[in-house]
């Protein structure tokens, strides 16, 4: 069992970059006071081909450290990884998942906790991580503001939307978007629909979402910010009108109309000339008689 997590530590950093998170850790942050209890959930373990789920601790100034593993079938726990706080942790299996537990939270437990397991082929799938804040500070929901982001993207049939979350604690948030077409029902905007850039700075986090403009329909976009204190929806919807392609279609129609009119004028003129030409010889013959 010892060599498995050792190999996991060697490839975890590259795996975090190269692979999408496939295990689910819904809690972005958890805030506790010293002496309280805390549980970190990990779902989607039915995707695992390996027999064990591993839990890692990552402090801001340190590398990943294995805390323990738990057998998916029996629930047996292995703590033989020489973690200095191994006795503070326990784990339990849940339906299609498991939990890492701390019965008595200490200040030194402040860290981000990740779950992972092996797929066939020897590579890891993992969760996105849950950061534990150990503090007496109160949880404060974010203030959400939306703006149209200045950009040249609209010249290529795209536009950018800007959503800002500020004045919150803990400072970590997750953004999501919904859109509404021509006053219809709202629908989720998936990660495959456009690009998103997130900028974190002191006191606020900004998400810039680049979306394609529909050539015919107007969409209204709403930003939602998910936080430990709850989900906050933007009060204002951002309207994205049809792209310039719609006006290009109108311009092409106008050009074709002009060409058709020109063709008709040309045909009429040509017909008139032919009539006049035919009348010319007939008149000359009459005068000759």
Among the four given CATH numbers 3.30.70.360, 3.90.1150.180, 3.40.50.11930, 2.60.40.10, the one describing domain 3-134: 2.60.40.10
d(CA 131, CA 25): 10
Angle at the Cα of 284 (from 282 to 286), degrees rounded to 5?
A: 75
Written as six digits, the tokens of 37 are 């209890």
**170 cis-preceded (ω within 30 degrees of 0):** yes
Whether 3-134 and 143-240 share one fold: the answer is: yes
Residue 213: band (very low, low, confident or very high) from pLDDT cuts 50, 70, 90: confident
Domain layout of the chain by residue ranges: 3-134, 143-240
> What CA–CA distance (Å, rounded) separates 33 from 107?
8
Residue 39 falls in which region: left (phi positive, over 0), alpha (psi -120 to 50) or beta: beta
Q: What is the mean pLDDT of the chain?
A: 84
Total-model pTM: 0.74
Q: How many CB atoms lie within 10 A of CB 247?
A: 11
The tens digit of pLDDT for each residue in 26-47 reads 999 999 999 999 999 999 999 9
- Select the highest-mean-pLDDT range: 139-153, 155-169, 182-196: 155-169
CATH code for the domain defined by 143-240: 2.60.40.10
Maximal C-alpha separation, the chain: 130
pLDDT tens per residue across span 86-136: 999 999 999 989 999 999 999 999 999 999 999 988 899 999 999 999 999
Confidence of residue 13 (pLDDT cuts 50, 70, 90): very low
Which residues touch 42 (CB under 8 Å, ≥6 apart)?
A: 23, 24, 25, 53, 55, 97, 98, 99, 100, 115, 127
């Amino acid at each position: 069992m010892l060599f498995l997590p050792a190999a996991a530590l060697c490839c975890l950093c590259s795996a975090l970059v190269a692979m999408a998170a496939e295990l689910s850790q819904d809690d972005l942050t958890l805030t506790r006071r010293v002496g309280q209890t805390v549980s970190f959930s990990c779902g989607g373990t039915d995707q695992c081909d390996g027999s064990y789920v591993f839990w890692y601790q990552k402090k801001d100034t340190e590398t990943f450290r294995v805390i323990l593993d738990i057998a998916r079938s029996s629930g047996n726990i292995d703590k033989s990884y020489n973690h200095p706080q191994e006795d503070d942790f326990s784990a339990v299996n849940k339906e299609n998942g498991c939990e890492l537990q701390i019965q008595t939270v200490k200040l030194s437990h402040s860290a981000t906790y990740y779950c992972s397991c092996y797929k066939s082929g020897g590579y890891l799938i993992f969760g996105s991580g849950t950061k534990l804040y150990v503090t007496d500070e109160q949880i404060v929901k974010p203030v959400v503001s939306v703006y149209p982001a200045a950009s040249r993207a609209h010249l290529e049939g795209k536009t950018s939307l800007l959503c800002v979350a500020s004045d919150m604690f803990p400072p970590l948030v997750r953004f999501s978007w919904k859109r509404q077409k021509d006053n219809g029902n709202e629908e989720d905007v998936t990660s495959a629909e456009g690009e998103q850039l997130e900028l974190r700075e002191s006191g606020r986090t900004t998400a810039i979402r680049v979306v394609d403009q529909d050539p015919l329909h107007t969409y209204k976009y709403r930003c939602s910010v998910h936080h430990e204190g709850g989900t906050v929806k933007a009060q204002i919807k951002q309207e994205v009108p049809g792209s310039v392609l719609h006006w290009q279609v109108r311009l092409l129609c106008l050009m074709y109309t002009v060409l058709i009119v020109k063709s008709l004028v040309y045909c009429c003129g040509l017909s008139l000339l032919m009539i006049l030409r035919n009348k010319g010889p007939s008149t000359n013959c009459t005068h000759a008689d």
